Amino acid sequence: MNTSTGINILGIETSCDETSAAVVRAPGEILSNEISSSLKFHKKYGGVIPEIASRMQLEVICQVVDYALRKAKVRRQDIDLISVTSGPGLLGSLAVGISFAKALSLALDIPLLGVNHLHSHIFANFLTSANQRKQKIKSINFLDPRKLFPFVALVVSGGHTTLAYLQDIDKIEIIGSTLDDACGEAFDKVAKILGLGYPGGPLIERLAKRGNPNKIKFNCSNTKKSLDFSFSGIKTAVLYSVKDKVLALDEKRDIAASFQEAVIDTLIKKSLLACRLNKTDQLFIGGGVVANSRLREKFRVQMLKEKIKLSFPAIGLCTDNAAMVSVLGYWLFKKGYRDNLDLSVNLN
Ligand code: KG4
Ligand code: ZN
């Protein structure tokens, strides 16, 4: 370990359409966090095409990692750990990141660790951005998750809607998940129904800004287990509300706002219940949907009212990025976790 300059963790994330590499100085200072997306090649298909994603990742991964190291001003020999997303995600895409990480680990004799994508979204909360550094915010205590356990976490992304109870870095219990569509997926599908582009989340958010969230009463379906989620019913309700109609812009705005509001209210209600059932007053949220500003504001207001301490990552750290992979890798490595060259894709 390179203790004179601090511990440098190289993170690699290729679980979906992005190729991302980051250097984080332990415990959570982001030195670089580079993201190359193949999104423009998928847009015309209305979703990510796995073949295209992995092919692009193979092409750009060397450059992205090189650029992340140069930007961080860290030499290859000064990397102390390589942390890579090992799943869940797209098989071919994950294989590109894992193979690259293994090759680098072997060539430079650097420890290697594969981490869970869902968990890394939670650990994005333990990063400090360059901006915070500039403002000299010293939140080192806050950056140490070990001082905060136990807590509840909510991950809402394109692939997951999950409530988890964390008692330690490696003690993460799933206490609720979606029975059908993931939350981000529901945003993407509703955007498609409304004739918007892909990914739908940011487009729904923009359209909803000038809509009336109380205009239409949409509801997320009830679930047998109170902490589970279901979004396919609300998606179908949106589909019926637009069926055989030519919508004016104002009507589209109201539908987008009403849908978004119902989803956010459900996420808040279930997160609060999870905190109550697990007797904790701390909630950490993450994942692409947490980039939604209406969600951030409503969670902030509601959790303040309920006296729940809420944390969410900076907007740019909610969607997929490698800095969150670095920080989770660091904490697991500190606990003694290591992988060898047998590391493989873990789709669960
Ligand atoms: O975490 P993420 O980048 O990738 C996955 O792990 O899936 O999340 C992507 C998802 C997409 O479904 C996208 O539509 C959604 O997050 N998303 C949003 C917003 N930004 C991204 N959903 C709602 N509002 C947003 N502003
Ligand atoms: Zn993700």
Q: What are 9-42's pLDDT values in tens digits?
A: 999 999 999 999 999 999 999 999 999 998 888 8
Q: Residue 262 corresponds to which amino acid?
A: A
Q: If you average pLDDT over every residue of the chain, what do you get?
A: 94
Percent of the chain with pLDDT over 70: 95
Of 312, 273, 280, 309, the C-alpha closest to 296 is: 312
Q: In this structure, what DSSP letter does residue 44 have? A: G
Measured CA to CA, the distance from residue 285 to residue 300 in angstroms comes to 11
Question: With contact defined as beta carbons under 8 Å apart, do 311 and 147 qualify?
Answer: no
Of 155, 154, 268, 242, the C-alpha closest to 190 is: 242
pLDDT at 135: 55
Separation in Å, CA 228 to CA 221, 281, 299: 10, 20, 18
pLDDT at 1: 53
Residue 198 has pLDDT above 90, yes or no: no
Ligand 2 centroid–CA 342 distance in Å is 24
Measuring from atom 19 of ligand 1, which residue has the nearest CA? 201
Measured CA to CA, the distance from residue 84 to residue 172 in angstroms comes to 19
Residue 178 has pLDDT above 90, yes or no: yes
Residue 271 has pLDDT above 50, yes or no: yes
Question: With contact defined as beta carbons under 8 Å apart, do 68 and 322 qualify?
Answer: yes
Question: With contact defined as beta carbons under 8 Å apart, do 121 and 334 qualify?
Answer: no
Separation in Å, CA 147 to CA 132, 144, 151, 296, 307: 21, 6, 11, 24, 19
Q: What angle do CA 274, 280, 286 make, to 5 degrees?
A: 60
Bridge partners (DSSP) of residue 30 are 24
Percent of the chain with pLDDT over 90: 87
Of all residues in the chain, what percent are helix, strand and coil, respectively (each to 5)? 45, 20, 35
Strand runs labelled E in 158-259: 161-168, 171-177
pLDDT mean over 195-210:
95
Which pair of structure tokens corresponds to residue 47? 């979703």
Ligand 1 centroid–CA 292 distance in Å is 8
Q: How many CB atoms lie within 10 A of CB 251?
A: 17
Residue 175 has pLDDT above 80, yes or no: yes
Measuring from atom 1 of ligand 1, which residue has the nearest CA? 288
Q: What strand order describes the sheet that includes 18-25?
A: 29-37, 18-25, 8-13, 81-87, 112-116
pLDDT mean over 281-310:
98
Q: How many residues does the chain have?
A: 348
Bridge partners (DSSP) of residue 178 are 229
Ligand 1 centroid–CA 261 distance in Å is 16
Ligand 2 centroid–CA 117 distance in Å is 6
Considering only 194-198, 276-280, 323-327, which range has the smallest mean pLDDT? Answer: 194-198
pLDDT at 136: 52
pLDDT at 139: 47
Residue 134 has pLDDT above 80, yes or no: no
Q: Ligand nearest 157 Cα, by number?
A: 1
Residues with CB under 6 A from ligand 1: 16, 157-159, 184-185, 187-188, 199-202, 205, 287-289, 291-292, 319-320
Q: Ligand nearest 206 Cα, by number?
A: 1
Q: Give the global pTM.
A: 0.95
pLDDT mean over 173-193:
97
Separation in Å, CA 2 to CA 7, 72, 113, 130, 338: 6, 15, 17, 22, 17
Which pair of structure tokens corresponds to residue 309? 């301490």
Q: Computed over its alpha carbons, how large is the radius of gyration of the chain?
A: 20
304-348 per-position pLDDT tens digit: 999 999 999 999 999 999 999 999 999 999 999 999 999 999 988
Residue 141 has pLDDT above 80, yes or no: no
Mutate which of 319, 320, 325 for ligand 1? The one with the most ligand atoms within 8 Å of its CB, which is 319
pLDDT at 3: 45
Binning pLDDT at 50, 70 and 90, where does residue 163 land? very high
Residue 284 has pLDDT above 50, yes or no: yes
Bridge partners (DSSP) of residue 151 are 166
pLDDT mean over 48-72:
96
pLDDT at 4: 43
